[in-house]
A and B are shown apart, each in its own frame.
Chain A
Amino acid sequence: MKNSKKTGFLFIALGIVLCVSAFLNICYGAINIPLSETFTILLGTAGSNTNAYIIWQYRLPKALTSVLVGSGLSLSGLLMQTLFRNPLAGPFVLGISSGASLGVAVLIMGSALLSSFFTFDIVTNLGLSIAASLGSFLVLWCVVLVASYVKDTMALLIIGLMFGSITGAVVGILSYFTDSEKLRQFIFWSFGSVGHLTWHQLLLLAVCVLTGVAISCYLIKSLNGYLLNENYAKSMGVHLIRSRYLIILTTGILAGSITAFAGPIAFVGLAVPHICRQLFSTMDHKVLIPAVILLGAIVLLVCDIAAQLPGAASVLPINAVTCILGAPVVIWLLLKDRKLFF
């Protein structure tokens, strides 16, 4: 009883923090827009033309992207950690991000070769998203294929990592032969970014992430089954092998679509599930799924605020911020509780 009270309190707290950080995220940027003006712009009434454009076409989509990316990655991290029964797993263990990197690397650095076939500029935002999705789904498809042969989930984990190594090597070779301008484009993509999604792209991303969330909710019973031994799960009416494909596919949809639009964003997917388990002291997915969704969104919103250096016109890469802010938090939680809740 006491535990459920604590859970309820934590959820309310997380909800409030989410709203506050989302609002701060919209208020805070390179250009100083007064709080009152931000309100009037958001309410649709007047406001200076440029400021209104910045808020509606950049900061608001950016905040929503942060929410979707943070919650989607955390959720897929949770799915992978449960599936592999391994606390080191994250959304990218199946080689999804390396597949996406390969797709983008081929597009950016191979476009010098392809440009004789294409007269138009193919290295666009949309082109990058398509290449990243193609790359990640190619790798994911290989993994699913392998999964039908290999019944051992640990072997699947290793195979995912091996796919990652291979694609990493190919990207390395491509980079070596590329001129600095192209290389820079690729490196910038690999830093990750939650900015610059149009409302259309945002809608597409939202559909993917919400689909992932819906399937995960449907899977709650099987996910909890993974925490038990296999025979016991069967006695509960959970078919582990069948749900395995569904979990892999859901992770693919979540991590794949997010990587396509925002680049490979590190750390969030691995760390947020751990923070939630430590906070809520539970393994029940009925609690963990909404918890990682809320906390993931908060983490990315806060990191995006921190990426905007105070007083300076420049912005830090989001990938660096997630790691620098996030890693100490996980270390602190583990030191405080002196054991990993897993």
Chain B
Amino acid sequence: MRVLHYFVLFFLIVGCQQKIEKSAAITKNTNSIHHAKGFSIASTSSGITIIKISHPWPDAKTSFKYALIPKLKRDNITLDSKEYDAVIYTPLERLVVTSTTHLPAIELLGVLDKLKGFPTTDHISSKKARALVKNGTIKDLGNVASINTELTLAVKPEVLIAFGVNGQNKAYNTLQAANIPIVYNGDWAESTPLGKAEWIKFFAPFFQKEKKADSIFSVIENSYKITRKLAKTAVKIPTVLSGAMHKDIWYLPGGNSWAAAFLKDANAYYLWRERQNTGSLALSWEHVLKKGRNAEFWIAPAQFTSYTGLEAASDHYKQFTPFKNKKIYTFSKTVGATGSMLYYELASQRPDIVLKDLVHILHPNVLPNYKPFFFKPLDL
């Protein structure tokens, strides 16, 4: 009996020591994330990259930790896999992503050919990715909310990049049981333009392309900052209205949201900037009429692409000054080959283009010769 006690004690001590060693091994903290708040990257002296997702979805209580090990060092590194939500061997040769916002980063890193599957490929607009869908490299995996397990297993991904609304997805449990690591990406929960774009650095370690990601991001960051500075030179600050009605309720971006951040950086006065809300606001249309009737510009009126469409949906839209002065601009007219809006795919990765579009529209004298990419005037 006593011998047993000693055994237990011995194992406890050994166990503790191992743990101490492991945490000491994390030495190098690659602290190169400046804008994104949802993830961090660190690497150990032995060559393991650790990605921590602290904010996978709004108000998340859980966080995720992933270990990325170079395939070349696979046999030399030992780690306690229980400490991580998934262990992934890099560079990846086959992966599946689940949101169109994941695509531009992969394309910019030059590894689009590694993408083997996507839920509802019809939502993809990128020309390069569409070509790969056509030649069968990127397989359709069904509906994103209930991804087809059999089709996903058949494309044999080394990792599946998911996004969660609350972390509940039965299909992912089955895939995890089949040893396909699920990695949560929280780009959509980020509320600043540069923060969202910085998620390209999250994708980079999976392909050992950290340097390339850093240089791509710094180009985007510089371009964004220069445009923001230019916008500040404008003398007049226009008032802006946004969103549209569903029945009696007007949906528009909250004051601390991603969309509102663009308007602020474009040196415009978004009429609901005081509302401390990172998501969207649902307001009675009476309130919006009272406050926004005399706005100078109306940016992003939901799905509408024409003045006649707005008028047909509700007569009340005609009361707004931007409607009368034809100052409504939408991103819904910029669509890919299958009719999906390019904005939802590309805008989060290219905030510099979005900002230039807005500055060109809101301050016509600042970027007079620029041709907007996302935002276009509504059809008459």
The tally of residues in A whose CB lies under 8 Å from a CB in B reads 33
**Known contacts A57-B316, A193-B248, A315-B248; A121/B287 CB under 8 A:** no
Which residue of B is nearest A308, CB measured?
B284
Whether B308 and A185, one on each chain, are in contact in the complex, defined by CB atoms closer than 8 angstroms, is no
Q: Is B247 part of the contact surface with A, judged by Cβ < 8 Å?
A: yes
Q: A125 and B312: CB pair below 8 A?
A: yes
How close is A52's CB to chain B, nearest CB, in angstroms? 11
Q: Which of A184, A196, A313 contacts B284 (CB 8 A)?
A: A313
Q: How far is the CB of A309 from the nearest CB of chain B, in Å?
A: 9
Q: Are A120 and B308 in contact (CB under 8 A)?
A: yes
Q: How far is the CA of A115 from the CA of B309 in the complex (A)?
A: 14
Please give 18 more A-B residue pairs, beta carbons under 8 A apart, in addition to A53-B289, A185-B246. Answer: A29-B286, A30-B284, A31-B286, A50-B289, A50-B290, A57-B316, A121-B304, A121-B308, A127-B312, A177-B143, A179-B123, A188-B247, A189-B247, A195-B247, A308-B284, A313-B287, A314-B249, A315-B249
Can you report 6 residue pairs joining A to B where beta carbons are below 8 Å apart? A121-B305, A125-B314, A184-B246, A188-B247, A198-B315, A315-B284
* A contact residues around B123 at 8 Å (CB): 179
- In the bound assembly, the distance between CA atoms of A126 and B313 in angstroms comes to 8
Q: Quote the shortest CB–CB distance from A186 to chain B (angstroms).
A: 11
**A177 — which chain B residues lie within 8 A by C-beta?**
143
Q: How far is the CA of A50 from the CA of B294 in the complex (A)?
A: 11
A254–B293 alpha-carbon span in the complex (Å): 37
C-alpha spacing A120/B312, complex, angstroms: 10
A58, CB-defined interface residue at 8 Å? yes
The answer to whether B293 and A50 have CB atoms under 8 Å apart is yes
1/0 per residue, CB under 8 A from A, across B289-322: the answer is 1100100000000011110110011111001000
Does B219 sit at the interface, judged by CB under 8 A?
no
> What distance in Å separates the Cβ of B121 from its nearest Cβ neighbour in chain A?
14
CB-CB under 8 A from B308, the residues of chain A are: 120-121
Q: Which residues of A contact B284 (CB under 8 A)?
A: 29-31, 308, 313-315
Residue in B143, B290, B303, B313 whose CB lies within 8 Å of A125 = B313
Interface residues as binary, A290-324 with B (CB distance below 8 Å gives 1, 0 otherwise): 00000000000000000010000111000000000
A residues near B248, Cβ cutoff 8 Å? 193, 195-196, 315
Which of A58, A126, A185 is B286 in contact with, Cβ under 8 Å?
A58
Contact of A126 with B312 in the complex, beta carbons under 8 Å: yes
CB contacts under 8 Å to B, within A166-210, are 176-177, 179, 181, 184-185, 188-189, 191, 193, 195-196, 198
- Number of chain B residues whose Cβ lies closer than 8 Å to a Cβ of chain A: 28
Cα(A195)–Cα(B293), bound, Å? 19
- A58 and B306 in contact (CB under 8 A), knowing A313-B284, A315-B249? no
The reply to whether A54 and B143 contact each other, CB–CB distance below 8 Å, is no
Of B248, B304, B312, most A-chain CB atoms within 10 Å: B248
Residues of A within 8 A of B313 (CB): 121, 124-125
Contacts of B246 in A (CB 8 A): 184-185, 188
Shortest A54–chain B CB gap in Å is 5
The 8 closest A-B pairs by CB, nearest first: A30-B284, A124-B312, A121-B309, A313-B283, A30-B286, A193-B247, A313-B287, A195-B248
Cα-based distance from A127 to B313 in the complex (angstroms):
9
Q: Which residues of A contact B (CB under 8 A)?
A: 29-31, 50, 53-54, 57-58, 112, 115, 120-121, 124-127, 176-177, 179, 181, 184-185, 188-189, 191, 193, 195-196, 198, 308, 313-315
Chain A: CB-nearest residue to B288: A313
B161 part of interface (Cβ distance < 8 Å) = no
CB distance from A208 to the nearest CB of B (A): 21
Whole-angstrom distance between the alpha carbons of A115 and B338 in the complex? 12
Return the contact of B316 from the options A120, A188, A196 (Cβ within 8 A): A196
Report chain A residues within 8 Å CB of B339.
112, 115
In the bound complex, residues from chain A placing their C-beta under 8 Å from that of B305 are 121
* B367: interface (CB < 8 Å): no
Does B220 belong to the interface (CB within 8 Å)? no
Tell me the minimal C-beta distance from B271 to chain A in angstroms: 13
Among candidates B143, B247, B319, residue contacting A53 with C-beta atoms closer than 8 Å: B319
**In the complex the two chains form, what is the Cα distance from A196 to B17 in whole Å?**
70
Residue of A nearest to B319 (CB): A53
Indicate if the CB atoms of B287 and A57 lie closer than 8 Å: no
Q: Given the complex, which residues of A lie within 8 Å of B312, measured CB to CB?
A: 121, 124-127
Alpha-carbon gap, A124 to B315, bound state (A)? 11
Chain A proximity of B301: nearest CB distance (Å): 12
Inter-chain contacts of A179 with B (CB < 8 A): 123
Contact present for A314 and B283 (CB under 8 Å): yes
Is the pair B293, A30 in contact by a Cβ cutoff of 8 Å? no
Q: Does B282 contact A (CB under 8 A)?
A: yes
- What chain B residues lie within 8 Å of A53 (beta carbons)? 289, 319
Report the separation of the CA atoms of residues A216 and B31 in the bound assembly, to the nearest whole angstrom: 77
Note all chain A residues with C-beta closer than 8 A to B314.
125, 196
Residues of B within 8 A of A176 (CB): 143
The CA-CA distance from A154 to B316 in the complex, in Å, is 46
Residues 253-296 of B at the A interface (beta carbon under 8 Å): 282-287, 289-290, 293
A31 to B246, CA, bound (A): 18
For window 88-145 of B, CB contacts with A under 8 Å fall at 123, 143
Smallest CB separation, A304 vs chain B (Å): 10
